[in-house]
Every structure is written in structure tokens, then in C-alpha cells.
Amino acid sequence: YAEHDPIRGKTLAQAHGDKFLVVYPPAMPLKTEELDAVAALPYTREPHPMYDPLGGVPAIEEVRFSVIHNRGCFGG
């Protein structure tokens, strides 16, 4: 839980068989200007073409022009 903090979070590593799962702490939140630059990128608002043979993504029209109003967990 505490490792979700970008300032205090530490890298976690857990052994699983002969491998390790590594979870890095989150990046620092973007500044307003940085987030604006991301939002200004030329997104196509189209599903990836790999879904075309499957008939597309049925729910895309519901979310095509959605507005992201929070980052991270909306809960407490």
C-alpha cells in the first residue's frame, strides 16, 4: 500500500519459482504543462486495427470522447 507513493515508494521484488516479479515505484505526477502536452498529442480516438477482423470494439462509441477527470485511484 505505502509503495504507491512516488516519493516514499520502494522497488519491490518477489520470488516466484525461478523468476522474480519486480514492481517499481510510480513516477512523479506530471506538472500541468506536461499533462497538457500529453493531452494535446494527436490521438486518433480509434481502436487498434487488430480489432477490425472481430467487428471492432462494441463499446467504443460510449467512450470515444470521454473526459478523464482523475488520475490514479478515485477512492480514498
Residue 13, classed as helix, strand or coil, is strand
10-25 pLDDT tens trace: 999 999 999 999 999 9
Residue 54, classed as helix, strand or coil, is helix
Distance CA 40, CA 34 (A): 10
Predicted structure pTM score: 0.54
pLDDT at 73 > cutoff 80: no
Position 76 scores a pLDDT of 55
38-56 pLDDT tens trace: 989 998 888 999 999 999 9
Percent of the chain with pLDDT over 90: 54
Distance CA 13, CA 19 (A): 10
Q: Where are the domains of the chain?
A: 2-63
